[in-house]
Structure 1
Amino acid sequence: MKINIHRTGRAATVVALGSVLALTATACGDNGSGAAGDKGTEGSGKGEITFWDNNGGVRTDIWKQIIADFEKKYPDIKVKYVGIPAASAQSKYDTAIQGGGLPDVGGVGTAMLAEVAVQGALEPLDSRLKGSSLNGKLSQNLLDVSRSAGGGDVLYQVPTSANNGTLWYRTDLFKAAGLDAPTTWSKFYDAADKLTDKGKNKFGFTIRGGEGAIAPALDAVYGQTGITSFWNGDKTTVNDPKNVAALEKYIALYKKDTPSADVNNDFTKMVAQWDSGTIGMLSHNLGSYQDHVKALGAEKFRGIPNPTRDDGTRVQVSNPVDGMSLFKSSKNKAAGWKFIEFALSAAENSKFNESAGQVPANTDAAKDAWIQKAEPTKLAAEALNGAGTKIVQLPYYLPDWNTISKSDNEPNFQKLLLGKMSAKQFLDTLADQLNKAQADWKANH
């Protein structure tokens, strides 16, 4: 993989800044393993390794439990834990890549994976996984997301857990209206219409119109059309005529079967609105489960994977996947890999995901008792691991993906909802930006 020297936006700033940092920073930060250019060594498989938790504070307690379990099994290896708040994890890695002080092992989510990988900081993991006890034990769909997010050819992240798009619906309202569960898109649209009574401030659905609106909209679009690839050659399928028609149908719900306030709602406002009102359905993810329990009680709602097509076909876009990476500069890669293997074992991966409320990457862990009792997570695991599930890989590997999907097009999505832009104009604009970004990326890889 060649390093992309033409990256734009934030990533280019990181590289420019890094050349200055490399002259001034030392390689001693956090007892890490050096800078990205350091090829490291296998080491003895004993001694101390450093682990960076990319969600420090939130996941600190569970990681310390896993580390204690690991050190009990491997008393000749000590793990130095460094918790980094999620909001600063990317910048922490960027600085260490240029100036030194990288860990042996670190938590790296798919949103930042490509940028870390493209700077040559990560150890390829394909051969290690192939010869590991984990081989065949991890969700193939999640591995595909990890591989795609890293650029498509090499595995730089072993997935630990995933969230999943979830359709939350009010079972009490559905029962009163005599409606079936919204398991297909036809049933979803039927319920959205029948549960709406504007005069009584009742709505069938709440749509995300504010920050973070693009991914759930794409999930609804590809889920309806059944198109299974984000690319057709070097051109995106996002503005395929079938997708345009699906988006038109989806955004037509706004103000007809949804509150008008939805145009400005991010997930926090949307979840609060659903929890406090009489809205039939909400599309979010597993993360809001406890909010719903507190607001409604466990008996008044249910969470299921996003609807299938009428023929039962399930197509969904890739959700961000969290995972662990081994850093190329590590002086003890053998011990670092042992830690990754241990953390991804069925017992430890189950323990981690029960705490996080997410779907385990280890398929044996996904069969554990706590998941069977947590129906939304159980159904999400079945959907993610299902052989019939087709996942459309969003291009997390593009340096411009976050800019395109957020600052460039979230305002356009609001214009779309307000009727100031057509679905075709919106998707053509998005497609043009994506095609240019893809061409730039391919020219430099």
Structure 2
Amino acid sequence: MNRAPGRTRPPYARRARGAALALALTALCALTAGCGDDGSGGAGDKGAEGKGKGHLTFWDNNGGVRTDVWKKIIKDFEAANPDIHVAYVGVPAESAQSKYDTAIQGGGLPDVGGVGTATLAEIAVQDALEPLDDRLADSPLNGQLSKAMLDSVRAAGGGDRLYSLPTSANSGTLWYRTDLFKAAGLEPPTTWSKFYKAADALSDPGSNAFGFTIRGGEGSIAPALDAMYGQSGITDFWRDGSTTVDDPANVKALERYVALYKKDTPSADVNNDFKKMVAQWDSGRIGMLSHNLGSYQDHLAALGAGKFRGLPNPTLDDGTRVQVSNPVDGLGLFKSGKNKAAAWKFIEFAASHESNSAWNESAGSLPANTEAAQDSWIQQAEATRLAADALDDGTVRIVQLPYYLPDWNTISKADNEPAFQKVLLGRMSVKDFLGTLADQLDKAQAEWQEQHG
């Protein structure tokens, strides 16, 4: 792989040190009685299996957004298990990781918590999560969960163990304005060729009309990678020990994609996160938006039924569809819990058909439970149904992003979101951007492999 010349970077801090720090702090607390204890400990505390009843603490890692449906699931669980009480704690998504880190170091972890693949590695590397493989093997859920989601969770944990039971996944979706497409006589953007044709045809900057809106602000890297791999057709993130992000085919694909900026997209896109991007699409004359299933209700409220559709990511002209892995949400069982048997009952209940269906219907996400994925609400929600069908029938080739790297979030956010803005503004070449990104990823991967043998 070609790398950007002259670009060096200090080695990433090894997150494994976090585990040692957590152990040291836990020991210090035990010796000095300097830390409170709510029944759960921190990393290194092995907890206990318990008697399958009593009190549990559950942390919702997207508190405030799905609070109502979680409280309904908890109410149903307690009705079915009257000897178990679940205390709900809503944690805002933006602060969930820091709250987990603080609890790992100082004690106070919950029995069960929401743990998605995007943050799983940072928790697992601190030895805070119980592997769930054996429990799932002995569970009625065995064989009822999406293989693709199980694979993504295992990949996020390093490839061997299941550190979170998957409950849902999002999916990259190309939303398009059916009214604008019909007026222009355009075919649905099912392929990348049709996508670029529509982006040009629907753009008239002088009239404030654009074919596409591109994400240039916070959270820009994953959709850029999705568009890049989707066009290049490359299906492996690593090849011969190096990342493929700077493969010449990917460079060419991203160059074509970013060339849309200001020509077929609004200039404000360079600073737009998903909220601004979605609001702009819902209120303006923009033909297409690449987001995910979660924005459906926003579009419905703003545009009304019949004026838009959501499709899985475009295919190549030969029908090949490639997309990067989307974060899979799930439930983790913490090692420090004193009532693991009861906690596992709650996890099983939440991932069962009825509960998993109810949660995902409220979120508009893809259920991990394969029976829930056949429920009527999915058949009526076209974008979700199409995404589920593509995932289940094996027509999508998934490029697994390296969520297992403890430094993935740093690399894909703080380190490179500002650089991607420079690319959009013409201040950095795509080749240099991807070369620098590849260099950082290769260093992080080498460090991870050194730690894990």
* TM-score bracket, shorter-length normalisation: over 0.9
What is the aligned partner in structure 2 of residue 278 from structure 1?
285
Q: Are 1:419 and 2:402 an aligned pair?
A: no
**Distance change (3 Å), C-alpha of 1:340 and 1:389:** same
Distance (Å, rounded) in 1 between the aligned partners of 2:48 and 2:148:
31
Out of 194, 200, 207, the position equivalent to 1:200 is 207
The answer to whether the Cα contact below 8 Å between 1:142 and 1:384 also exists between their aligned partners in 2 is: no
The answer to whether the Cα contact below 8 Å between 2:167 and 2:331 also exists between their aligned partners in 1 is: yes
Secondary structure of 1:397's counterpart equals coil
What is the aligned partner in structure 2 of residue 8 from structure 1?
13
What is the aligned partner in structure 1 of residue 142 from structure 2?
135
Distance (Å, rounded) in 1 between the aligned partners of 2:93 and 2:127:
22
What is the aligned partner in structure 2 of residue 410 from structure 1?
417
Out of 36, 54, 67, the position equivalent to 2:74 is 67
Task: Give how far 1:22 is off.
Answer: 5.3
Secondary structure of 1:387's counterpart equals coil
Secondary structure of 2:369's counterpart equals coil
What is the aligned partner in structure 1 of residue 232 from structure 2?
225
What is the aligned partner in structure 2 of residue 358 from structure 1?
365
Out of 252, 259, 273, the position equivalent to 1:252 is 259
State the Cα deviation string for residues 171-204 of structure 1 (Å, max 9, x = none): 0011111111101111111111111123322211
Q: Are 1:23 and 2:28 an aligned pair?
A: yes
State the Cα deviation string for residues 237-259 of structure 1 (Å, max 9, x = none): 11111111111111111122112
Question: 262-271 or 362-371: which moved more?
Answer: 262-271
Secondary structure of 1:142's counterpart equals helix
In structure 1, give the amino acid aligned to 2:228: V
Identical positions, percent: 73
Task: Give how far 1:437 is off.
Answer: 0.8
The answer to whether the Cα contact below 8 Å between 1:192 and 1:205 also exists between their aligned partners in 2 is: yes
What is the aligned partner in structure 2 of residue 442 from structure 1?
449
What is the aligned partner in structure 1 of residue 298 from structure 2?
291
Secondary structure of 1:444's counterpart equals helix
Question: 71-80 or 405-414: which moved more?
Answer: 71-80
Task: Give how far 1:26 is off.
Answer: 5.9
What is the aligned partner in structure 2 of residue 234 from structure 1?
241
Distance (Å, rounded) in 1 between the aligned partners of 2:192 and 2:81:
50
The answer to whether the Cα contact below 8 Å between 2:163 and 2:332 also exists between their aligned partners in 1 is: yes
Task: Give how far 1:113 is off.
Answer: 0.8
Distance (Å, rounded) in 2 between the aligned partners of 1:381 and 1:344:
17
Question: 270-279 or 432-441: which moved more?
Answer: 270-279
Give the length in aligned residue pairs: 439
**Distance change (3 Å), C-alpha of 1:305 and 1:393:** same
Q: Are 1:212 and 2:243 an aligned pair?
A: no
Q: CA RMSD in A?
A: 2.0
What is the aligned partner in structure 1 of residue 321 from structure 2?
314
State the Cα deviation string for residues 369-392 of structure 1 (Å, max 9, x = none): 111111122222223333222211
Question: 34-43 or 238-247: which moved more?
Answer: 34-43
Structure 2: runs of 5 or more not aligned: 1-10
Out of 17, 41, 45, the position equivalent to 2:48 is 41
Distance (Å, rounded) in 2 between the aligned partners of 1:65 and 1:198:
48
Q: Are 1:339 and 2:346 an aligned pair?
A: yes
State the Cα deviation string for residues 73-104 of structure 1 (Å, max 9, x = none): 22222222222222222122112212222222
Task: Give how far 1:15 is off.
Answer: 6.3
Secondary structure of 2:134's counterpart equals helix
Secondary structure of 1:315's counterpart equals strand
Distance (Å, rounded) in 2 between the aligned partners of 1:267 and 1:46:
42
Distance (Å, rounded) in 1 between the aligned partners of 2:421 and 2:98:
30
Distance (Å, rounded) in 1 between the aligned partners of 2:440 and 2:141:
39
What is the aligned partner in structure 2 of residue 149 from structure 1?
156
The answer to whether the Cα contact below 8 Å between 2:19 and 2:125 also exists between their aligned partners in 1 is: no
Distance (Å, rounded) in 1 between the aligned partners of 2:34 and 2:70:
28
Out of 101, 104, 115, the position equivalent to 1:94 is 101
**Distance change (3 Å), C-alpha of 1:12 and 1:272:** farther
Distance (Å, rounded) in 2 between the aligned partners of 1:236 and 1:97:
32
Distance (Å, rounded) in 2 between the aligned partners of 1:14 and 1:196:
52
State the Cα deviation string for residues 304-339 of structure 1 (Å, max 9, x = none): 111112222221111122110111122222211111
**Distance change (3 Å), C-alpha of 1:11 and 1:420:** farther
In structure 2, give the amino acid aligned to 1:282: L
Secondary structure of 1:152's counterpart equals coil
